[in-house]
A and B are shown apart, each in its own frame.
Chain A
Amino acid sequence: MNDKKPGKYVISRGLDQFFIGVSDAYRFTTRFFKELFKPPFYFRETVNQCFEIGLKALPLISVTGFIIGLVFTKQSRPSLEDFGATSWLPSLMGIAILRALGPLVTSLISAGKVGSSIGAELGSMKVTEQIDAMEVSAINPFKYLVVTRVLASLVTIPLLTFYCIVVGLLGSYVNVNMEEATGFIAYFKGAFSSIGFLDIITSLVKSLFFGFTIAIVGCYKGYNATSGTRGVGRAANQAVVLSMFLIFLEEMLIVQVVNWIRYF
């Protein structure tokens, strides 16, 4: 017996679901911007979320940023040594960490740590009807749960990114200092010599995009979780996978745009 009803799907089940998902995500995102400027404003909850997000990711970003700066410098040294260009290491690391590594490392760690946590927390609230309970108590759960988290992420991720950049450069400095006894001021003078205003703005824009992506994806997946505890796990997992994928996509697009601005 073929139980497939003709005309049940517009294209196919998978593609239909994909486009419905995209449309839902679009509506969820536009709702964020609509609710953002409408009162009431939950300032205290936003500040709480800033601490939650910042404190959750801070230890891991400190360690990872430092190690990446140190290891990246160590790995780049032999190639530069071949050309007798080790003096370029500080400026190379300055560019690499500020333009790419800092924003990427921060956002990927935050996607794992913060995105999954938001997805699981909201998912759990959804399946245990806590979100419905807010709604029937005349509290707008979207505003209280989603808007506050996305705003907190927009504030916190850029701060964490610049913190990661500083820690990464410190890691790199430690390696350079150990190998060549370069002084602190000399290293940072070299590191900042090749960095321009555009690089700083680009990092800021990237971290804002990444922060928004992490929080909105986590909230979207959690807010729409179904199927009990299994659904909560799936929401947390999908929040991480999807936000990481989108972060790489955004990285590629922003680099293309910035390079276009840089050379024209």
Chain B
Amino acid sequence: MTEDRKLDQDVMREPVIEIKGLYKSFGDLEVLKGVDFNLQKGQNIAVLGKSGTGKSVLIKIIVGLLKPDRGSVNVLGKEVNQLNAKELDALRLRVGFSFQNSALYDSMNVFQNLSFPLTMNFKKLSKAEVKDEVMDALEAVGLADKAKQMPAGLSGGQRKRIGIARTLILKPEIMLYDEPTSGLDPVTCTEINELIVEMQERYHTSAIVITHDLTCAKTTSQKVAMLIDGSFTKSENFEDLFDIEHPQIKSFYNYNFTK
């Protein structure tokens, strides 16, 4: 049974994230109960699960925003829990995190939102270089004309795109998407899904896509895993996962694709 809940390890490919026996609780509430998880280079994995099952907690632990109770989290060969602040910052430059609500800086316009992480981390870049980088990133997400706009004036889909552009501007090797299509209409969802695939092809990133949206999971990821009761189901191809007889998996499928 426990073996069923562990994800496949593809020994042919280099792992960029390796998680072993991860536990995390908040007070009396145990969220993650011995999670094992692997992400290989160039691979996208969609993580599904009910609200409150700890999907976002998992990716926050990966970037060191939350500390696990126990377990090992190895990202790009570094044990996250053992890094000092400087080492953690160096690792964070290699791991992009796209927030559920985009988390754009309200007080800055779109251009400043993108240039801020660049100028803070690469002080030797000239103004012209920063401008080129920002405009390239904005063009990549199709929003070059919004550079002077404030985040409050953007639509939900545009905010998500700018959030992704801000993350990609640091050229990360791994992308963590926290519910990239939540709260968006089907047309914008499709655009965001295409953008995630395009970004993977363009920047050769590996990614974890946290989502409730099975279309998003199917479009953006090669594998799908489901977090149930604090641990993962076996990592599967999209079709194989839904052959597993489990009420939560069935319920997920039936809600998204009514049989």
Contacts and interface: CB of A to CB of B under 8 A. Distances in A.
A128 B101 contact: yes
Interface stretch (A11-19, A65-73, A90-98, A133-141): A133-141
Nearest to B119: A139
Contacts of B99: 129, 132-133
A133 B103 contact: yes
Which of B101, B116, B120: most chain A Cβ within 10 A? Answer: B120
Interface in B85-106: 85, 89-90, 92-93, 95-97, 99-101, 103-106
Interface string A110-138: 00000000000000110011101101111
Given A136-B65, A138-B89, A129 B121 contact: no
A35 B196 CA distance: 37
Given A133-B99, A139-B120, A124 B93 contact: no
B121 A130 contact: no
A132 B120 contact: no
Q: DSSP majority for the B interface?
A: mixed
Which of A40, A128, A136, A144: most chain B Cβ within 10 A? Answer: A136
B117 A124 contact: no
Contact of A132 (B103, B116, B117): B103
Given A137-B120, A139-B121, A128 B89 contact: no
Contact of A133 (B93, B95, B105, B120): B105
Contacts of B65: 132, 135-136
Interface in A120-172: 124-125, 128-130, 132-133, 135-140, 144
Contact of B103 (A129, A138, A139, A140): A129
Contact of A136 (B63, B104, B120): B63
Contacts, number: 55
A132 B96 CA distance: 12
Q: Chain B interface: which size bin?
A: 20 to 34
A182 to B, nearest CB: 49
Contacts of B192: none
Contact of A124 (B95, B106, B116): B106
Contacts of A135: 65, 92
B164 interface: no
Nearest to B66: A132
Given A124-B106, A130-B106, A136 B97 contact: yes
Contacts of B85: 140
B105 A138 contact: no
B170 interface: yes
A135 B89 CA distance: 8
A25 B65 CA distance: 20
B101 A129 contact: yes
A125 B99 CA distance: 13
A216 B95 CA distance: 32
Which of B92, B95, B103, B104: most chain A Cβ within 10 A? Answer: B103
Interface string B68-93: 00000000000000000100011011
B120 to A, nearest CB: 5
Given A128-B101, A130-B103, A133-B99, A138 B121 contact: yes
A138 B169 CA distance: 13
Contacts of A133: 97, 99, 103-105, 166
B156 to A, nearest CB: 14
Given A40-B120, A129-B101, A137-B170, 18 more contacts: A124-B106, A125-B105, A130-B103, A132-B99, A133-B105, A135-B92, A136-B65, A136-B92, A136-B95, A137-B116, A137-B166, A138-B120, A138-B121, A138-B170, A139-B120, A140-B85, A140-B89, A144-B120
The 3 closest A-B pairs by CB, nearest first: A137-B117, A138-B89, A133-B103
26 contacts: A40-B120, A125-B106, A128-B101, A129-B99, A129-B100, A129-B101, A130-B105, A130-B106, A132-B103, A133-B97, A133-B103, A133-B104, A133-B105, A133-B166, A135-B92, A137-B92, A137-B117, A138-B92, A138-B93, A138-B120, A138-B121, A139-B117, A139-B120, A139-B121, A140-B89, A144-B120
